[in-house]
Homo-oligomer: A and B are copies of this chain.
Amino acid sequence: MKNYNTDKIEAFKQEHKNRARLLISCPDQPGIVAAISQFLSGYQANIIESNQYSTDPHGGEFFTRIVFELDDLSNKAEQLEADFQQVKDQFQMEVSFQYVNQIKKMAIFVSKEPHCLLELLWEWQSGDLVADISMVISNHETSREFVERLGIPFYYIPANKDVRKQVEEQQIKLLKEHDIDVIVLARYMQILTPTFVGTFNQQIINIHHSFLPAFIGAKPYERAYHRGVKLIGATSHYVTNDLDEGPIIEQDISRVDHRDNAAAMKKIGQSVERSVLARAVKWHLEDRILVYGNKTIVF
């Protein structure tokens, strides 16, 4: 099926057909950068952008993200990866080659509140979010109309804790059938089981509100209001089995004051959620994020 953005995405793929991103992590030691850059130089690859970081130059962990271009990349990719095996072994690297014209397949999960879904669709329409939005899955019908209007399949799967197992089986089947690369929980208010989370490790991105101080439990906006907080925040993170405790990708805040009641704070909070989630998803699609322990390196 041809959706709203098919043409734009084809153009993007054509434009970036010779571009790849190389993500590496390994124990830090002298010579890593020399080995990688010499390897790419030997292939006549042109480094477009390069970032590196070490937790500690003496015995820490080394991370790098290198964007390069190579003529006739699609025909050379297999050999390139095979040849790199030697460098990889020498430095005990975790390596990932990402080819920019292989557009990531994305599924968006949403419940009733549409603000985060709408933001993602907006960024996608304007070309700032380059993804193949393969489906929207929701436990409510609310968002069907404007999702389908854009030519994106919409799956209504009612959910609650009694049918969680069956619901997740149905969802996993759908996601597998469409080779989904990344799942965005755009205010999806159902708990995911370890089975689901384990099936999509470091592929699920969530968004939730955040406060200073935290107001854990029910009615956080009410309580934030009664404490007179001056900042409302949002946090986007990868989903792990510790509820809302996975590696943080991005955070931001917005100022509030005494004139903002709990409802106004909620609205402001939703606005922060929109932009924080959109940035996190964008960085993921651009392969900017490396996960290390329970934290992220964002290049």
Contact = CB atoms under 8 A, between A and B. Distances in A.
A158 interface: no
A130 to B, nearest CB: 14
A259 interface: yes
Interface string A53-74: 1110110000000000100000
A296 B231 CA distance: 13
A138 interface: no
Interface string A232-260: 01010000000011011011110001110
A211 interface: yes
A171 to B, nearest CB: 28
Contacts of A115: 126
A252 to B, nearest CB: 7
A167 B14 CA distance: 41
Interface residues of A, number: 60
A37 interface: yes
Interface in A247-277: 247-248, 250-253, 257-259, 261
Given A30-B41, A30-B46, A34-B38, A295 B212 contact: no
A41 B91 CA distance: 14
A298 interface: yes
A279 B19 CA distance: 36
Interface in A104-123: 115, 118, 122
A37 B33 contact: yes
B31 A34 contact: no
A233 B212 contact: yes
A231 B249 CA distance: 11
Contact of A235 (B34, B212, B235, B261): B212
A152 to B, nearest CB: 15
Contacts of A211: 212
A63 to B, nearest CB: 8
A299 to B, nearest CB: 9
Nearest to A252: B231
Given A50-B52, A212-B214, A251-B212, A44 B57 contact: no
List of 5 A-B pairs having minimum Cβ-Cβ separation, nearest first: A228-B295, A34-B37, A210-B212, A34-B41, A33-B37
15 contacts: A30-B45, A33-B33, A33-B41, A47-B52, A47-B57, A50-B50, A51-B51, A122-B122, A227-B245, A227-B247, A227-B294, A228-B296, A230-B252, A257-B298, A258-B295
